[in-house]
Amino acid sequence: MDFSIARRIMVERQVKARGVSDPLVLEAMLQTPRHLFVEEAFQSQAYSDFPLPIGDKQTISQPYIVGLMTQALRLKGGERVLEIGTGSGYQSAILSRIASRVYTVERIPDLARRARRVLNSLGCHNVNIKVSDGTTGWAEEAPFDAIMVTAGAPSVPDEYFAQLAPDGRLVIPVGSRGGQVLKRFTCSDSGCMEEELADCRFVPLLGRHGWSEEEGKA
């Protein structure tokens, strides 16, 4: 099945029509076969306007949110980007088409393995995947020009600020387990400017500086 028409309609109606205008982001979304990142049973819905299950109780974000978050990082090309929450690898693939290197951390080994397989098959060789607790970032590869967290955090782990390069951008959903506000921090020597971008609902960021793995506990 040829999904390229569905993909073009997705980018036009769900992403561009809602205000994502960065040509680099739109082009990356046009070029990335989203259906390869979802389970086979859901492939026909891969270009629809909602999140989809990717296994292990996790979800691939709605296309609009992927566009919005990627645009919010203000990438021009050539950056080193850290993503927390590899999941299916779809967001990593989008980032890999714009940035020069993508470092992505996933806590569930099975998801990381599947993501690696799809990313390799698409030739996204500038993505490094680590299986680990991403609430502590990836200190060995810091600093990063941009950091994107794709799971909902109770608060922003200090490590992310410490691992940002000068003039770095951090995009992260912060709030309760049930709902968050997508925030952008733009940091310089004199401190970080904080903006609220949208209401959103992500699966929880679990780990040392995130939510407890026991359901319902902080």
What is the set of active-site residues? 61
Three-class HEC string of 117-175? HHHHHCCCCCEEEEECCHHHCCHHHCCEEEEEECCEECCCCHHHHHCEEEEEEEEEEEE
- How near is the Cβ of 108 to ligand SAH at its closest, in Å? 5
- Alpha carbon distance 115, 77 (integer Å): 23
Between 118 and 166, name the residue whose CB sits nearer to ligand SAH: 118
Between 45 and 191, name the residue whose CB sits nearer to ligand SAH: 45
Distance, C-alpha 174 to centroid of its chain: 14
Between 26 and 105, name the residue whose CB sits nearer to ligand SAH: 105
Site string for ligand SAH, 85-104 (x = CB under 6 A): x-xx-xx-------------
* End-to-end Cα separation, the chain, in angstroms: 45
- How near is the Cβ of 199 to ligand SAH at its closest, in Å? 17
Query: Is 111 an interacting residue with respect to ligand SAH (CB under 6 A)?
Result: yes
Query: Is 159 an interacting residue with respect to ligand SAH (CB under 6 A)?
Result: no
Query: Tokens standing for 205?
Result: 């960021």
**Cα–Cα–Cα angle for 29, 102, 133, rounded to 5 degrees:** 115
Task: Indicate the DSSP class of residue 212.
Answer: -
* Cβ neighbours of residue 209 closer than 8 Å, sequence gap 6 or more: 135, 136, 153, 155, 157, 158, 159
Between 85 and 168, name the residue whose CB sits nearer to ligand SAH: 85
Query: Is 58 an interacting residue with respect to ligand SAH (CB under 6 A)?
Result: yes
The interface region with ligand SAH, picked from 15-23, 28-36, 128-136, 178-186 by CB under 6 A, is 128-136
Residue pair 98/24 in contact (Cβ under 8 Å)? The answer is yes
Query: Is 137 an interacting residue with respect to ligand SAH (CB under 6 A)?
Result: no
Question: Where do contacts with ligand SAH occur on this chain (CB under 6 A)?
Answer: 54, 58-61, 84-85, 87-88, 90-91, 105-108, 111, 133-135, 150-151, 203, 205-207, 210
